[in-house]
């Protein structure tokens, strides 16, 4: 994440020759808080930041955009253009994911699923490990729906392990069949 707010605070504080404690007292925050703002460890509240930005003579709109940009993940911070003080518009169709996900339900046999999955870079490492472990694969043989479920449900939380994916497939199968 960016730290445009912290960098602005640091530059201004140095320019006016104040210590972090002196600068913080001006805005009713501690010196250590100013240190954390400058380093990007902590983000100031919007209220505090707007007071500091006013002191720096940063226009209110620009200050709000800077504050927002610092809070967005890197993939979204590019939607704020601070040079133009605007949110960058994008059409609904402009967003394309880094990878196009494969729909594994179109593969009819477990072997076809395994063959395709072995070269799929979008799958979590733990799920790929399941495909590479031939003995385990032969025991479980997940179908396309199960692979899609594991990829979509667990990809955002981490790589996982093959055993965690085995458990996920078992739970999915119980829900699918209605058994407890």
3-state secondary structure 117-145: HCCCCCCCHHHHHHHHCHHHHHHHCCCHH
Could you give the C-alpha distances from 144 to 16, 57, 162, in angstroms and in order?
A: 63, 58, 17
What pLDDT, on a 0 to 100 scale, did the predictor assign at position 170?
80
d(CA 70, CA 28) in angstroms, rounded, equals: 22
With respect to residue 94, please indicate whether it lies within any of the assigned structural domains. no
Lowest mean pLDDT among 17-26, 39-48, 90-99, 104-113: 90-99
Q: Are residues 66 and 109 in the same domain?
A: no
What pLDDT, on a 0 to 100 scale, did the predictor assign at position 72?
80
Q: Are residues 13 and 82 in the same domain?
A: yes
What pLDDT, on a 0 to 100 scale, did the predictor assign at position 95?
41
d(CA 63, CA 8) in angstroms, rounded, equals: 10
The position carrying tokens 């402009």 is 94
Number of domains in the chain: 2
Show which of 88, 112, 129 is a domain's final residue.
88
Q: Are residues 84 and 147 in the same domain?
A: no
Q: What is the CATH number of the domain that holds 29?
A: 1.10.260.40
Q: Which residue has the higher pLDDT, 13 or 79?
A: 13
With respect to residue 59, please indicate whether it lies within any of the assigned structural domains. yes
Q: Are residues 47 and 112 in the same domain?
A: no
Torsion region of 45: left, alpha or beta (phi above 0 gives left; psi -120 to 50 gives alpha): beta
Could you give the C-alpha distances from 95 to 73, 153, 155, in angstroms and in order?
A: 15, 21, 19
d(CA 151, CA 147) in angstroms, rounded, equals: 6
Is pLDDT at 24 greater than 90 in this prediction?
yes
Q: Are residues 25 and 79 in the same domain?
A: yes
d(CA 115, CA 102) in angstroms, rounded, equals: 13
What pLDDT, on a 0 to 100 scale, did the predictor assign at position 143?
86
What pLDDT, on a 0 to 100 scale, did the predictor assign at position 91?
39
Instruction: Look up the pTM and report it.
Output: 0.48
Q: What percent of the chain lies above the pLDDT cut of 70?
A: 84
Q: Are residues 71 and 145 in the same domain?
A: no
With respect to residue 98, please indicate whether it lies within any of the assigned structural domains. no
Q: Are residues 12 and 80 in the same domain?
A: yes
Show which of 88, 112, 127 is a domain's final residue.
88
Q: Are residues 75 and 115 in the same domain?
A: no
The position carrying tokens 């600068």 is 23
Please write the tens of the pLDDT for every residue from 131-167: 788 887 788 888 888 888 777 766 555 667 777 777 7
With respect to residue 49, please indicate whether it lies within any of the assigned structural domains. yes
With respect to residue 99, please indicate whether it lies within any of the assigned structural domains. no
d(CA 152, CA 125) in angstroms, rounded, equals: 13
Question: Residue 15: which domain range?
Answer: 4-88
Q: Are residues 80 and 112 in the same domain?
A: no
Q: Are residues 138 and 165 in the same domain?
A: yes
Q: Are residues 31 and 65 in the same domain?
A: yes
With respect to residue 96, please indicate whether it lies within any of the assigned structural domains. no
With respect to residue 150, please indicate whether it lies within any of the assigned structural domains. yes
The position carrying tokens 């930041």 is 49
With respect to residue 81, please indicate whether it lies within any of the assigned structural domains. yes
What pLDDT, on a 0 to 100 scale, did the predictor assign at position 138?
81
Query: Once rounded to an integer, what is the mean pLDDT over residues 89-115?
Result: 68
């Amino acid at each position: 994440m960016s730290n445009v707010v912290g960098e602005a605070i640091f530059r201004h504080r140095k320019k006016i020759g104040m210590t972090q404690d002196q600068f913080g007292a001006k805005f009713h925050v501690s010196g250590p808080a100013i240190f954390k703002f400058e380093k990007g460890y902590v983000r100031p509240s919007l209220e505090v930041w707007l007071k500091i930005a006013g002191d720096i003579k940063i226009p209110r709109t620009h200050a709000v955009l800077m504050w927002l940009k610092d809070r967005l993940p890197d993939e979204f911070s590019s939607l704020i253009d601070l040079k133009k003080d605007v949110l960058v518009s994008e059409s609904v169709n402009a967003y394309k994911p880094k990878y196009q996900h494969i729909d594994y339900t179109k593969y009819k046999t477990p072997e076809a699923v395994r063959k395709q999955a072995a070269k799929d870079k979008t799958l979590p490492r733990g799920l790929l490990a399941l495909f590479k472990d031939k003995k385990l694969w032969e025991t479980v043989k997940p179908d396309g729906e199960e692979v899609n479920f594991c990829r979509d449900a667990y990809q955002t939380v981490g790589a996982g392990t093959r055993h965690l994916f085995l458990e996920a497939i078992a739970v999915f199968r119980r829900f699918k069949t209605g058994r407890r």
